[in-house]
Structure 1
Amino acid sequence: MRIRAMQAEDASTVAALHAASWRRAYREILTHAYLDSDLEGERRSVWTTKLSVADGSLGWIAFVQDVPAGFVFVRPREDAQWGTLVDNLHVQAAHQGHGLGRRLLHTVGGWTAVHTPDVGVHLWVFADNVAARGFYQRVGGREVERTDRAAADGRWLPEYRVAWSSPDALTAATRG
């Protein structure tokens, strides 16, 4: 496995990974109409914009045998109280349970320890995404807030904010 920084040219690759992940993990969370639409095209548009804007956001793609297998994207210092936002973390189904998500979060922890060491790290997860919530708990994340948030399909859905108190806490929890 290797992990490298995302580049603007990765928008289509990231969009394909993102759409596949949402179609599998969110089948009973987001509407079928949304998931069965041109989701990959919509995500490509989103990622083309995200990867071309110089706002300090950045991400990493993980490869297994030179095939894209997952990615993580962060927005440093996104929240005054909670710190850096893990905006996206997705791992292809075939690679889940093999430490890839943990390694991607460890990469985030290492980067934030150097670049934003004075703030925590957080993310949002759908309340109904029980598998992801369990994963975040296993890697030291604490559910610190529950609220309804706007979902990509236009509805408001309950989500949890999961937080790590510091980059060091995230790095320590994802070691190994």
Structure 2
Amino acid sequence: RMGDMAAGDVLIGIASSGPHSNGYSLIRRIVEREGLSYEAASPFSDGTLGEALLTPTRLYSAAALPLIKGSLINGLAHITGGGLTENTPRMCPDHLVPRIDRDSWTPGPVFQWLQEAGGVELDEMHRTFNMGIGMVFSVEPDMAEIVMNQLRLMGETPVVLGDLAPA
């Protein structure tokens, strides 16, 4: 089933733990412009700013492997540099494009702070950062609720991000 994507397939996302390893040139510029130290209290979470910005990257194999082995999904994208804007289309065959509703989830506080403190346009935020979504699954519509429930059982908080449309 992997790779048998079709228009109407549902895109389901699961959370990242923060910026992961992407966008740090921009992050450093924002921190410098704000005149903050990495040892300073984080303006958006507990602990220091450095600790908050360097939250380790999540690994997604525990969530993805059972879905792959169970033939419950037909595509997946790890959201790295290039954000949702560049990574999600990479999983699609040429005849399909992802349609993502940016209002379907709320990016974590780190992304809200970076956008406000840096005066970064939303499109640039979505090209640079994962915006709180670390992995996206493509799922047949009749499998979406099953996949959502399976992810919840694994401790995830899945969100329907959008769907696939004809290119």
TM-score, normalised via structure 2 length:
0.29
Higher relative contact order, chain-length normalized (CA < 8 Å, sep 6+): 2
TM-score, normalised via structure 1 length:
0.28
Please identify the structure whose Cα radius of gyration is greater. 2
